[in-house]
Structure 1
C-alpha cells in the first residue's frame, strides 16, 4: 500500500504521525511524509521518505501575527489578523500537497486536522482512501464542549455549541475549499467539512486514551475509535533527535529533591520574561526546584532566575518526567500523555487549540490543576502547584498511568485502522 501522511503544525502534531508512519513502513508499506520544513529532518531521521509541506511552523509560532495579532489593535485589526491566520500558507500547502499526491499516487492519504480541507477534495478527485488523525475530540459529541466551561451541560447545549462552531468555520473557509474543488474538476459543496467526512466513511483515528473520556470512547467505538496516544519510543526518539547526553543536567536533577518540570513546548508565550519570573517566584514560595525547558521561546534575554531554577533545552520527556515531582506545561496532547504516563501530577497552562480540553480532563481526573497561560502569576501558579503537589493529585496521576493503553498497543491499533482504509470511487462526492 502507498500511503502519504500530510501533517502540518508543531512538533506535537507531527511526531505522532511519524510514530505511526514508522510502524506502517515496518509492515512493508511505502510511506511518504509531508511535514513542515522545520520538522523534515526529524521524520527523515527514522528512515521515512519525507518532503516539506508548507511553511516553517516554528517561525510562524514566533511571529508577531501569532503572538500579538489577536490581542491588540481595534476590532477591525483583530478581524484582519484572524483572517490572515485562517489563510496563512493555504495556497502553498495546496500546491505542494497536490504535487505529492500526483507524484506518489497513494492508495491512502492521511491528514492532520489543519490539512483536512485540502486532503478531502484531493481524496475525492483522485479516488484515494482518506484517514484523519485527531489528538483530541474535534467532532460534534454530546459530552465535551468546544467551549471551555460548559462540559457537563445538557447534551443539547453541547451539541448546539458544536453545530455553531462547525458553521462558523465553514463560513470562514468555504470559498477557498470550493475554489480548490473547481480546480480539481469536482463539484462544489455547501455544508461543513466534518459531516462530509463522516458521510464518506472517512477513518478518523482518535490518537488519545479512553481513560480520559471513556463514555466518548464507547459512543465512538464503531466510527471514531480511540487507539491510545501514539508516543515515541526511546529508539525512535534517538533517531529523530540524536542529542548527546548532558551529564551536568543529570547531576543537577540528582543533587537535590526531585524538581518540578516547567515547559511550554512549541507554544508562544506572550511575555516570556514575566512568565519565567512568575515561575521562579512561585517555585520559591512552594519550596521546589524547577527544571525549565525553554522550548520554542527565546529566553536568552531573561536575567537570573535563582539557584533553584535550571534552564535547559529540549529534553526527552520519557526519560526526565519520571525523575520529577510534577510537570507544568501548555497541555499539548503528547506532553499531557507523557506526564501522566510517568504518573506525575500535572498543571496545564493552556495557550490554544485542544489544550483547554486536556486541562479540564486533568482536573476532572484529580491529577492536578489547570489555568490559561495568560493567567499565570506568581500567586496563581503557587496555588496550582500547591494543589498538584498533594498526595491526592499524586494518587490520581498514578491511577491514570496504570489505566493507560500501552504505546505499542496504541500504534498497532492505529496502523490496523490505516490499513483498513480503502480508496473510494472518484464520483463519491458528498455535498
Structure 2
C-alpha cells in the first residue's frame, strides 16, 4: 500500500510549494524481502544491495531501505546545506557581460510528440528572429509541415511518432512488457532508434532536402530522448546544450520521474532521490548502448563509450542543461551545478485563430465548459475511455469540450448542447475559455493550462506526466493525478468536482500570476548564449562563427566558412592550409576510482573485446554473404537476354556461382575480423590495463581529498601523449617525494604527534600512488597517444565528409557575399604576418 510520507523540515529539499513527497514516492517496511518474488499485481520485486526492482508497468523500483541506502544516508547527512531553494529564475547578468555571439547554424534535435516539438519551435523562432541565427529543427517527418510553416528549416530525424506513442502507452516505463517482447516490438523500436541516430548525424551536415541549401551545424540543442546529440557534438567538436521539460540531472530534491522510490525511515529521502537518477540512466543504457556504440563506430568514426561511462555521460562532461518549466511551480534544486538552469515554460506567440461557427456557438450559448483531451496519446480502447468521460460529465452535470486527438475519441458520436467533440484547436486560444482542463500531463499542455489559471487534472500515461501531475497537485492547482490504467468513472467525476472548487481555482490563479512574470523562451535564449564557448567568432567577419583555423608558422587565424571561401576564390590561401576549428572538443575517457577496480574493469573489458572479436570472426563473413546474396539483381529470363553472351563465362557454366565481388567481400571481412581478434589482447595488455592502472593510481589520493594529481591535459595524439607522460612522471616523482613531509608538518600544527603520524601515513600512500602513476604513465600515456593517432589516421571518413560539407557551404554562401570580399581580404592580410602565398 502506497502512502504519502511527511518529510521533516531538516531534510526537505523540495520546492517550498511541496509539503510532501509525490505520491509515487512510497514508504516500504523495514523488514522488506530480500528475494526475487512477484506480488499479487504481477510486479517483480528484486531486493539486493541497492534494491532495484521492476514493476509490471515497466517503471523502476529503487528500494533504498536496503543496507546501502542507510549507510549512504549516514554518510551524506553532513552534506545537507542549510539554504532554502530560490523561488525565482536565476540571474545571468554576470555571464552576459561578454559580447553577443556570432550568427550560428543551430540544429535543434527533438524526439517525441507534437507537444515536445512545439516548445522548441518557439525557441527556434526567437533564436532566428531576435539574434539572426540560422535554425534547423530536426524531428519526425510527421511534423515537417508544422515546422516549415513557422519559417524554420526542417530535417527529418526518422521514426514514427504515432507508433512510438502507441508503444510507450503500452510500455510506460523502461522495461517492456512480455506482450511487447512477444509481438516483436523491441526489435522494431531498436531499428527505429538506429534510424533516428543516423538522422541526428545527417541533420548536422547535410543540405536541406527541399531548398538544397548546404548546412553544417555550429551548435546543437536537443532533448535527451533524441539520443544522438552528444555524439554528434563530439564528432564535430561543437557546443551542445540540452533543453528538456523533465528533470534529467541528478538531484537530492526529487527522484527521477521514471523511478518509484521505496525506502525506510532510516534512509534520507535526498539519498534515495539522487540514487534514482543513476539507476534509471544505467538501465536505459543497457537497452541502447550497443546501438549507440555501433553507430559511433560505423558512422562517426568514434571509439565506443565505455560501459561504465555511458549512463552518466552528460553529467561527466558537464554539458549545459536548461529546464523548461516555471520556477514558480518547481524551483531550481539547490544542488545543481552552475551549468544547469531553470528558465520557465516555453510559450509560442499565440496563433491567429478563427473558431468554426459550431464551436463559437457552443461556447457562446451555455455555461463555461471544461476541456478533456489527451493529444498525441494513442489509446488501445478509445471507445471505453469516451464512455467513461461521458458518464463522468453526466454525473457532474457540466458541459465539456472533448478533443478527439490521435485516438479519435468519440469517433462515431456527434456534438450536442452539453458535449462538443473538438478537432485541432490552439490551446492558447481555447484554455482561456474553459473552467478546467483534463489531459495527459504533457509539459506544454500543463503549462498552457496553468498560464491561463485553469485548474488542472492530469491522467498520466508515461514519462514525465506523473511528475507534472504531482507538481500541479502539490501547488493546489488540481487534484492528485490518477494513472490512466487506474482511472474510473467515479474517480474522474470526483476530480472534476475538485477542479471546480473555488480553492483550487484560487491556487491555479496564483500560479498563473507568478508565471506571467517569467519569459521562458527569452531566458532560455540567454542561457544558451551564456554557455557558448568564448572566442568562436571569425576574426575577419566578426558576425559569423569560425569554422576553420589557418596556420602559418606561429600565426593562427580563425576563419568562417564564408571568409575561407572568399580567400580561396581569391587564390590567397589554399584549402589544404585550413584545419577544422574545434570550439568545444569532447574528451571521453573511463573514470577510475582506484587501481584495483581500474585493473579489474580494464581486464574484463579486454576479455569481452576478445570474446566479441571471436564471435564476429564467424558472424561477420556470414552476414556479409547474406547481405550480398540479398542485393543480387534478379536474373533476366527473356529470350533477348538469353541470346546475349555472358560477361563472365564461368557464370554461364555455373549459374549458381556467387558474383565476382562476393569472394572479395568475404576475404576483406574475414581479414578485418582476424585483425580485430589479434589486436584486442595486444591493446588490452599494452594499453588499456596499464592506462587503467595509471589513472587508478592518480585517483587514489582523492580518497583523502588530495586532487592536486587527479587530472592532466587531454591526450589527442602521439605528441600530447608524450608530453603528458613526461609531465606526469616529473610531477608524480616530485609530489610523491615531498607530500609526506608537508602533510606531517601540517598535521603537527593541527594535532601534534598524532597529526604527524597521520601525515606520514598520507605521505606513504601519496608516494606510492603518485610515483607509481608517474612511472607507469611514462609508458601508458605515450602509448595512448600513439593509439589515438593511429585511430585517427585509419578513420578519416567522417573528417573528410565534414570537411567537404564545410567547403560546400562556404562556396554556396558566396552567392550572397555582396561587397564583403574586399573587407575579408584586407582583414586577413592585416592579421597574417607572412607574405602572400
Regarding TM over 0.5, the answer is yes
Find the counterpart in structure 2 of residue 13 from structure 1.
Answer: 116
Write out per-residue CA displacement over residues 278-314 of structure 1, whole angstroms, 9 at most, x where no aligned residue.
Answer: 1111111111101001111123644468641110102
Task: Give 1:30's aligned residue.
Answer: 134
Structure 2: gaps spanning 5 or more residues: 1-103, 207-214, 534-581, 591-837
1:111 CA displacement: 1.3
Deviation at 1:194, TM superposition (A): 5.7
Q: Distance in 2 between matches of 1:192 and 1:359?
A: 32
SS class of match (2:338): coil
> Where does 1:134-213 land on structure 2 (aligned, <5 Å)?
134-146=244-256, 147-148=259-260, 154-183=269-298, 184-190=300-306, 191-193=308-310, 195-213=312-330
Highest Rg: 1 or 2?
Answer: 2
Matched, 1:224 2:340: yes
Paired residue for 2:357?
Answer: 247
Tell me the CA shift for residue 23 of structure 1: 0.6
SS in 2 for 1:211: coil
Q: Is the 8 A contact 1:196 1:430 kept in 2?
A: no
1:192-234 alpha-carbon deviations (Å, 9 max, x no partner): 5463212323121101111122252x44372210110111111
d(CA) in 1 for partners of 2:584 and 2:363? 57
| 1:131-179 Cα shifts (integer Å, max 9, x gaps) | 1111021222112223256699711112222221111111112111211
Corresponding residue for residue 266 of structure 1: 376
Which residue of 554, 565, 588 corresponds with 1:429?
588
Q: C-alpha displacement at 1:186, in angstroms?
A: 2.1
> Secondary structure at the residue paired with 2:295?
helix
Partner SS state of residue 380, structure 2: coil
Superposed, which structure 2 residues align to 1:43-58 within 5 Å? 43-58=147-162
User: Which residue is equivalent to 1:386?
Assistant: 497
Measured after TM superposition, the shift of residue 244 of structure 1 is 5.0
Q: 1:121 aligns with which of 231, 250, 256?
A: 231
Please report how far the alpha carbon of residue 426 of structure 1 lies from its aligned counterpart in structure 2 after TM superposition.
4.0
Equivalent position SS for 1:167? helix
Residue 291 of structure 1: which of 382, 389, 401 is its match? 401
Match of 2:441 among 318, 331, 341: 331
Q: Which of 94, 108, 112 is the aligned partner of 2:197?
A: 94
Residues 401-420 of structure 1 deviation map (CA, whole Å, 9 limit, x = unaligned): 1111556x211111122223
Match of 2:740 in 1: none
CA shift, 1:58, in A, is: 2.9
Q: How does 1:102-117 map to 2 (within 5 A)?
A: 102-103=205-206, 104-115=215-226, 117=227
Given the superposition, is the C-alpha separation of residues 58 and 75 from structure 1 closer, same or farther in structure 2, using an over 3 Å criterion?
Answer: closer
In the alignment, the residues of structure 1 paired with residue 161 and residue 446 of structure 2 have an alpha-carbon distance, to the nearest angstrom, of 21
Stretch of structure 1 that moved more, 305-314 or 105-114: 305-314
Structure 1 window deviating more from structure 2 (317-326 vs 421-430): it is 421-430
2:144 is matched with 40
Aligned counterpart, 1:3: 106
- Partners of 1:219 and 1:427 lie apart in 2 by 24
**Matched residue of 2:424: which SS?**
coil
Are the counterparts in 2 of residues 132 and 204 from structure 1 also a CA contact under 8 Å? yes
**SS in structure 1 of the partner of residue 421 of structure 2:** strand
Cα 1:410–1:150 change in 2 (3 A) is farther
Structure-2 change in CA distance of 1:299 and 1:307 (3 Å) = same
Q: Give the whole-Å Cα distance in 2 for the aligned partners of 1:60 and 1:307.
A: 36
Structure 1: segments with no counterpart, 5+ residues: none
Secondary structure of the structure 2 residue equivalent to 1:98: helix
| Counterpart in the other structure of 2:454 | 344
TM-align CA RMSD: 2.5
How does 1:353-392 map onto structure 2 within 5 Å? 353-369=463-479, 370-392=481-503
**Alpha-carbon displacement from aligned partner over 1:363-386 (angstroms, at most 9, x marks no partner):** 111111211122222111011111
What is the correspondence of 1:306-317 to structure 2 with a 5 Å cutoff?
Answer: 307-317=417-427
Contact preservation (8 Å) 1:70, 1:82: no
SS at match of 2:482: strand
Q: 1:167 & 1:194 partners in 2: Cα distance? A: 5
Larger RCO, structure (CA 8 Å, separation 6 or more): 1
TM-score (norm 2): 0.47
Distance 1:303 1:377, change over 3 A: farther
Distance in 2 (alpha carbons) for counterparts of 1:130 and 1:98? 13
- Structure 1 residue matching 2:228: 3-state secondary structure: helix
Q: 1:192–1:341: structure 2 CA closer, same or farther, 3 Å change rule?
A: farther
Asked whether the 8 Å contact 1:199–1:430 carries over to 2, the reply is: no
Q: Aligned pair count?
A: 418
CA pair 179-406 structure 1, distance change in 2 beyond 3 A = farther
Aligned counterparts of 2:135 and 2:462: Cα–Cα separation in 1: 31
Distance in 2 between residues matched to 1:403 and 1:75, nearest whole Å? 41
